Structure formats: C-alpha cells, structure tokens
C-alpha cells in the first residue's frame, strides 16, 4: 500500500463522451514515480479505483490520469470540473523499467485507455532517445472517436516513432488499419530481434499479444506488464 496523499484537480479535458483526462497537482509537492506506475484514487463511500499515470516522470509537479466512465470512483470523477481536492495512494506497481533495456528496440502495445502508462513510458524514452534503438507504438481503440492523445501520436510519428493505429469499428472516413491490434502484429510476422515489449490492456488482449510476440522471437522476459 502506498502513502495517502492529496492533489488538486487543476484541469479536466474531455477526450470522448466517456473518457476524460484529469491533471492533478499534488498538494505536498512533487511526486517521484516510475513510468508505468499507477494511483489508487480514493472516494468516501466507494472502493478505491486504480488509474495508470499518463504523464512522464520528469514532469514531477503534476500527475495525469486517463479515466473511462464506469461505476464507483470513475463515475464520481466525471462530476469534477477543476478546483476540487482528491485523495490517492501511490505511486503503486512495478512500472515499466527502461534502464535495463538500453540499446534495445522498444515496442509499445496497448488498447483503449491502457495507452496511459505507455504514453508515460514513451515520453520518458523519447527524452532519452539516444539510449534506445527503434521505437514503435501499436495502439488499438474502439472507434476513430476514441483516438486518445491524437496530437501526441502525430508528434511521435514526426519524431521517428513507428505509430500504428487500428480501430475495431471504423467509419467511412477511416483509411487506416482496422481490427484488433494483436492481429495486426501477427500479420506482420517477421522476427523482432533485440526488442523489449511493453504491453497493457484487457486480459484477453494481453494474453494474445504475448503469444504473438513470442512467435515473433521476443523472449518472455522481455515482454513486460506494469502490474
């Protein structure tokens, strides 16, 4: 269990009808964390809910969490507009270590709001760009309207990151990949030498993705989750 702290809600951005990004400013000063770690947000009368930190570790004065509306704490959070105070425990979890994987290629695979810890890790990797090889992101989401961090995706692509986006339910304007992200990875087929993979998403997606990455010659010890 992590230390209980409080944070002010500085800003709330709507990413979709059911997804918001909350920018939190810890009231007791900067919080040190490892990319990929998460917070347990507390709310009186509700069971605490876990949200991965979407902001990078070098931005120590604030924490960002990406929240999909559901029941319990996530529903309560959607009533906030800014200026409120929240309590949370953390940072929690092992995070996504980068230091042991210097000189390797980095592969990020996630779906939906699980892009949050991948964003934190990718931003940190880009800050240290000369320490790593090729960087690629495979991001799957439900519809084109659920393309979170769109400006970041475009910026990363311009910086040389191989960004592959796929949607499960494309509309008539969508001209990129469609289908599940793990199926895109399987279709490519070629081996991925000297690569470490950071994977985050729903259980079935994660299990299928791990199987695909093993088929593509990434050893299990180089396929990481942030739990």
- DSSP bridge pairs for 52: 38
Q: What is the pTM of this model?
A: 0.95
Query: For 30-60, what is each residue's pLDDT tens digit?
Result: 999 999 999 999 999 999 999 999 999 999 8
Q: Can you tell me the distance from the alpha carbon of 132 to that of 41, in angstroms, rounded to the nearest whole number?
A: 33
- Phi first, then psi: what are they for 60, rounded to 5°? -80, -15
Structure confidence at residue 176 as a pLDDT band (50, 70, 90): confident
Cβ-count burial of 195 within 10 angstroms (0-12 exposed, 13-18 middle, 19+ buried)?
buried
Q: Can you tell me the distance from the alpha carbon of 61 to that of 27, in angstroms, rounded to the nearest whole number?
A: 9
DSSP 112: G
Q: Can you tell me the distance from the alpha carbon of 193 to that of 227, in angstroms, rounded to the nearest whole number?
A: 25
CA-nearest of 38, 42, 27 to 66 is: 38
Domains of the chain: 4-92 (2.40.30.10), 99-224 (3.40.50.80)
pLDDT at site 222: 98
Q: Where are the beta strands (DSSP E) in the chain?
A: 4-16, 19-26, 38-43, 46-52, 63-68, 85-92, 105-111, 135-141, 162-167, 177-178, 195-200, 223-224
Structure confidence at residue 3 as a pLDDT band (50, 70, 90): confident
Query: For 101-119, what is each residue's pLDDT tens digit?
Result: 999 999 999 999 999 999 9
Assess contact for 105 and 131: CB atoms under 8 A: no
- List all residues 6 or more positions away from 151 whose beta carbon is below 8 Å from its beta carbon: none
Structure confidence at residue 71 as a pLDDT band (50, 70, 90): very high
Q: Can you tell me the distance from the alpha carbon of 53 to that of 37, in angstroms, rounded to the nearest whole number?
A: 6
- DSSP bridge pairs for 67: 20
Q: How would DSSP label each residue in 154-195?
A: HHHHHTT-EEEEEESS--TT--SEES-HHHHHHHH----TTE
Percent of the chain clearing pLDDT 70 (strictly above): 99
Of 75-89, 116-130, 167-181, 209-223, give the lowest mean pLDDT range. Answer: 167-181
Residue 226 has pLDDT above 90, yes or no: no
Assess contact for 156 and 122: CB atoms under 8 A: yes
pLDDT at site 2: 63
């Amino acid at each position: 269990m992590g230390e209980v702290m409080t944070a002010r809600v500085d800003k709330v951005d709507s990413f979709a009808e059911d997804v918001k990004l909350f920018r939190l400013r810890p009231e007791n000063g900067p919080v040190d964390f490892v990319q990929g770690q998460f917070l347990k947000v507390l709310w009186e009368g509700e069971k605490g809910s876990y949200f991965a930190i979407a902001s990078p570790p070098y931005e120590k004065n604030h924490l960002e969490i990406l929240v999909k509306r559901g029941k319990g704490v996530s529903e309560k959070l959607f009533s906030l507009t800014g200026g409120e105070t929240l309590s949370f425990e953390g940072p929690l979890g092992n995070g996504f270590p980068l230091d042991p994987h210097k000189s390797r290629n980095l592969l990020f695979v996630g779906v939906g709001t699980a892009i949050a810890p991948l964003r934190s890790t990718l931003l940190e990797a880009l800050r240290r760009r000369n320490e790593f090889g090729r960087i690629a992101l495979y991001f799957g989401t439900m519809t084109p309207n659920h393309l979170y961090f769109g400006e970041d995706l475009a910026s990363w692509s311009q910086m040389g990151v191989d960004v592959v986006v796929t949607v499960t339910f494309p509309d008539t304007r969508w001209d990129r990949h469609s289908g599940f992200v793990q199926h895109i990875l399987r279709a490519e087929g070629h081996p991925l030498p000297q690569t470490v993979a950071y994977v985050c998403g729903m259980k079935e997606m994660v299990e299928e993705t791990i199987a695909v990455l093993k088929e593509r010659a990434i050893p299990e010890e180089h396929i990481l989750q942030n739990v």
